[in-house]
Amino acid sequence: MNKLNQQGLASSNEIAQIYEILSQTYPTFENTDDPWMTNGLSSTPFKSLVSVCLSTMTITKRVVNACVPLYQRVSNFEELLALDDDELRQIIKPVAHYNRKTVNLKLMARQIIELHNGNIPETREELMKLQGVGRKVTDIMLNFVFSKDTIAVDTHVLRVLNRLKIIATDSAEDAAVKINLITPTFYKKHAHEWLIQHGMKVCTARKPKCSECCVNQFCSQFDS
Ligand code: SF4
């Protein structure tokens, strides 16, 4: 079990140790056969942004089922904007909230064309102004497309961070602010990739595999 500080959270030394172990346990995404990578869902900045927007509240298999046919029809924001709304809605039907996402994608495409000459803006402030783009999508774009040292927090990352008492909050937005403040810069670039793999493979929502966990010595939930 980790030694907790006055707020009941892991110390900075322990946080660095946890990242070090995770980095030695999990590959970075480009070295995995994750369907997101093998289906080219982020092979261009356009695909990255659209795929991530479609992925909210949706499992990867359904994102793939929507994105693969979509990218056979469109490859840039002009083509996306020109696509008939009903056709777009039908193509992305596998993902959650496809009606709302259809509207958001069209508005976002128009913003990028009219305000940014068809190029995705590279600053947090401008990304957050795009229709349907929140903190998580922004952090993913900054990290994976624009190579910034930024950690995106999704449901898996949020769960792992709370269980390890690296943070203590139910809010993904709050967690994103905090984890980006306390993570050593050396680990920031790939922290999301290690944490999400740990959350999906070991520290699962139901029945986490604590006895197999590479960082269980730091976790108050592990009863050795
Ligand atoms: S010990 Fe269990 S709860 Fe703690 S991080 Fe590992 S898998 Fe998750």
Say yes or no: 135 and 108 in one domain. Answer: yes
Evaluate whether residue 131 is within a structural domain. Answer: yes
- Give me the number of domains the chain comprises: 2
Which residue among 210, 211, 212, 223 has the greatest number of ligand 1 atoms within 8 angstroms of its CB, and so is best to mutate?
A: 210
Last residue of a domain, one of 115, 145, 175: 145
Could you tell me the distance, in angstroms and rounded to a whole number, from the CA of residue 208 to the centre of ligand 1? 6
Say yes or no: 125 and 84 in one domain. Answer: yes
Pocket residues for ligand 1 (CB within 6 Å)? 163-164, 202-203, 208-210, 213, 215-216, 219, 221-222
pLDDT bin (cut points 50, 70, 90) of residue 36 is confident
pLDDT bin (cut points 50, 70, 90) of residue 132 is very high
| Cβ-based neighbour number of residue 111 at 10 Å | 17
In the predicted model, what is the mean pLDDT of residues 92-107?
Answer: 98
Say yes or no: 127 and 162 in one domain. Answer: no
Evaluate whether residue 207 is within a structural domain. Answer: yes
Last residue of a domain, one of 145, 175, 199: 145
- What range does the domain containing 173 cover? 12-29+149-218
Is the model's pTM score more than 0.85? yes
At residue 6, the pLDDT reads: 57
Last residue of a domain, one of 145, 168, 197: 145
CATH number of the CATH domain containing 160: 1.10.1670.10
Say yes or no: 204 and 114 in one domain. Answer: no
pLDDT in tens, 144-182: 999 999 999 999 999 999 999 999 999 999 999 999 999
Evaluate whether residue 122 is within a structural domain. Answer: yes
- Tell which atom from ligand 1 comes closest to the C-alpha of 164: 5
Q: Which of 136, 139, 165, 178 is catalytic?
A: 136
At residue 29, the pLDDT reads: 86
Q: Which of 47, 101, 139, 154 is catalytic?
A: 154
CATH number of the CATH domain containing 78: 1.10.340.30
